[in-house]
């Protein structure tokens, strides 16, 4: 009504001025500018609500994703279900005088299924589900983010009433975008957004008809403001870690249910080879394998397709980078060095030796740990350092010099060395890294690396003939499977043993 009156008044004024013979162009221009500024302010202030209403209408209400659709994470799912039961069994918790949980924080690496967990939580509790990303609340205009936060909570209440539900879940992804540490007197716009979120969570009382649960996700829990993490706000903090071997197998089975797998495919073997993969990466592996099979018009997905997909997810797609013959031979020697030492310190760990360039690498050795490990001894870390140094040591053994190809290997070796020192496993003993000077740590790191470099070189020098045996095959085929490499290594070791026996017999003859 107000807009209609204003429009009619403005039109009457313009007509009146025209009858008096005045030019109305300046007035019309001024009115146009004012209208534009008003509409822009309205769109900035309420655009979130309009967009959100469309989102709500399109997504209906309760998600269809259940906990059965999420592979692995049994501990996290069990802990989450226990927290969600407070939304379901209201009479029971009131009988014991339990305060309902207001917030659940899911933290963990990217791609581990935190968003799926939130959707499954809404399905489990039969609650309406409204989601937003933390970046949606960050604006240059003061107060806009706080207004959007109020609209988000109002929206879930409206949606719940519309769908005749008694509970709703608000999911905020990447909450660290608005929930970071507040820095003293420095005032930032999204501090108001955080304050509004805290106010809304405090306002979630037990006597409301619509019970709201806030679920947030982050991979930077250390950045969050303490006010968010205190009891009464996010009462449950659940870690959603990378899946272990059993969970990886479960995830692979879920993602291959609708894919034609060949009889020779071993998902157990694939689960071992994908140590450290997230759920999103495992899904990408199965999808890329299907793409490889489709390119070849293969009716089934074979183990070879899955192996190529693992390489692509880990290293990237093959590149058109063409190396000279000399460079290819040096890269082959470098990767064979990694493979030989890996097999010596961890038998059966090599999955593939490849000479094909992927991403920034001209060649690579794919390894698997055999079993998931979360604790490491000094020897195990030193063995890993030897594997990192083996590429450069192999170049030095064969060519008498090294190349820049070992740069990334040295970075990893330094990281492992730093872990040795900071965990008290070096000769420095138990230390506090903040109290010891950097020069002393560098001296200890250099000593460790130099000693392990010499040990690695000595290990490789005993397998000099193995380089010659594998080099030609690798240059021609560009890949060596783990089984093929171990067979060639076994033959080389048997040959060296025979040479030693023959040499000993010859010495006996000469001595006699």
Asked if residue 274 lies in contact with residue 289, where contact means CB atoms within 8 angstroms, the answer is no
| Separation of alpha carbons 493 and 495, rounded Å | 5
The Cα–Cα gap between 27 and 15 comes to: 12
Contact in structure between 405 and 337 (CB atoms under 8 Å): no
Whose structure tokens read 């030019």?
A: 23
Q: Say if CB 449 and CB 385 are below 8 A apart.
A: yes
Work out whether strand 103-107 and strand 236-239 pair parallel, antiparallel, or are unpaired. Answer: parallel
Please provide residue 312's backbone torsions phi and psi, each rounded to the nearest 5 degrees.
-65, -45
CA R_g for the chain? 32
Which residues, at least 6 apart from 424, have a Cβ–Cβ distance to it below 8 Å? Answer: 430, 431
Which of the following is catalytic: 151, 283, 335, 395? 335
Q: How far is CA 33 from the centre of its chain?
A: 48
The CA-CA-CA angle for residues 66, 69, 70, to 5°, reads 105
Say if CB 285 and CB 277 are below 8 A apart. Answer: yes
- Segment (H or E) for 16: helix 2-19
> Tokens 């199965």 — which residue?
286
- Strand runs (DSSP E) across 355-490, as ranges? 364-367, 479-481
- DSSP-based three-state secondary structure for 256: coil
Give the number of other Cβ atoms within 10 Å of residue 371's Cβ.
9
Find out whether 129 and 63 touch, Cβ atoms under 8 Å.
yes
> Under the phi-then-psi rule, with left for phi > 0, alpha for psi from -120 to 50, and beta for the rest, what region is 262?
beta
CA distance 340 to 386: 11
Q: Can you say how many angstroms the Cα of residue 505 is from the centroid of all Cα atoms in its chain?
A: 59
Confirm whether 335 is a catalytic residue: yes
Catalytic residues: 335
């Amino acid at each position: 009504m107000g807009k209609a009156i204003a429009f009619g008044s403005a039109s009457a004024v313009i007509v009146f001025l025209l009858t008096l013979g005045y030019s109305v162009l300046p007035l019309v221009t001024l009115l146009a500018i004012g209208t534009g500024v008003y509409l822009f302010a309205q769109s900035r202030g309420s655009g979130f609500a309009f967009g959100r209403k469309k989102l709500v209408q399109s997504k209906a209400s309760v998600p269809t994703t259940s906990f059965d659709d999420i592979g692995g994470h049994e501990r996290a799912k069990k802990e989450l279900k226990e927290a969600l039961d407070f939304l379901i069994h209201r009479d029971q918790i009131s009988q014991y005088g339990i305060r309902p949980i207001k917030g659940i924080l899911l933290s963990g690496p990217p791609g581990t299924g935190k968003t799926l967990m939130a959707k499954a939580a809404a399905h489990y509790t039969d609650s309406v589900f409204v989601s937003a990303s933390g970046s949606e609340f960050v604006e240059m205009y003061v107060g806009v983010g706080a207004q959007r936060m109020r609209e988000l909570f109002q929206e879930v209440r409206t949606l719940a009433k519309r769908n005749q539900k008694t509970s709703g879940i608000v999911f905020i992804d990447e909450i660290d975008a608005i929930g970071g540490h507040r820095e003293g007197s420095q005032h930032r716009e999204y501090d108001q957004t955080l304050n509004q979120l805290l106010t809304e969570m405090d306002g979630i009382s037990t006597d409301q008809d619509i019970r709201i649960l806030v679920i947030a996700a982050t991979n930077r829990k250390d950045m969050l403001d303490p006010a968010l993490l205190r009891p009464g706000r996010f009462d449950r903090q659940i870690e959603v870690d990378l899946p272990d071997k059993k969970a990886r197998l479960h995830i692979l089975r879920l993602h291959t249910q609708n894919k034609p797998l060949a009889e020779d495919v071993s998902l157990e073997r694939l689960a071992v080879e994908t140590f450290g993969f997230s759920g999103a990466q495992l899904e990408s592996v199965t999808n890329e394998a299907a793409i490889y099979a489709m390119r070849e018009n293969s009716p089934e997905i074979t183990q070879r397709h899955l192996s190529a997909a693992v390489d692509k997810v880990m290293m990237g797609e093959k590149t058109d980078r063409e190396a000279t013959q000399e460079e290819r031979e040096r890269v082959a020697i470098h990767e064979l060095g990694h493979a030989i030492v890996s097999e010596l310190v961890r038998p059966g760990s090599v999955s593939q030796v490849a000479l094909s360039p992927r991403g920034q690498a001209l060649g690579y050795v794919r390894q698997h740990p055999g079993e998931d490990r979360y604790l490491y001894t000094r020897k195990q870390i030193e063995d890993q350092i030897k594997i990192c140094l083996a590429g450069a040591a192999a170049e030095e053994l064969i060519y008498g010099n090294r190349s820049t190809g070992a740069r990334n290997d040295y970075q990893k070796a330094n990281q492992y060395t730093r872990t040795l020192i900071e965990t008290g496993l070096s000769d420095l003993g138990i230390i506090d890294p903040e109290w010891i000077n950097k020069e002393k740590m560098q001296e200890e790191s250099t000593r460790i690396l130099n000693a392990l470099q010499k040990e690695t070189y000595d290990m490789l020098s005993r397998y000099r003939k193995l380089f010659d045996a594998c080099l030609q095959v690798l240059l021609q085929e560009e890949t060596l499977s783990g089984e093929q490499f171990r067979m060639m290594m076994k033959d080389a070791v048997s040959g060296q043993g025979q040479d030693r026996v023959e040499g000993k017999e010859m010495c006996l003859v000469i001595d006699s």
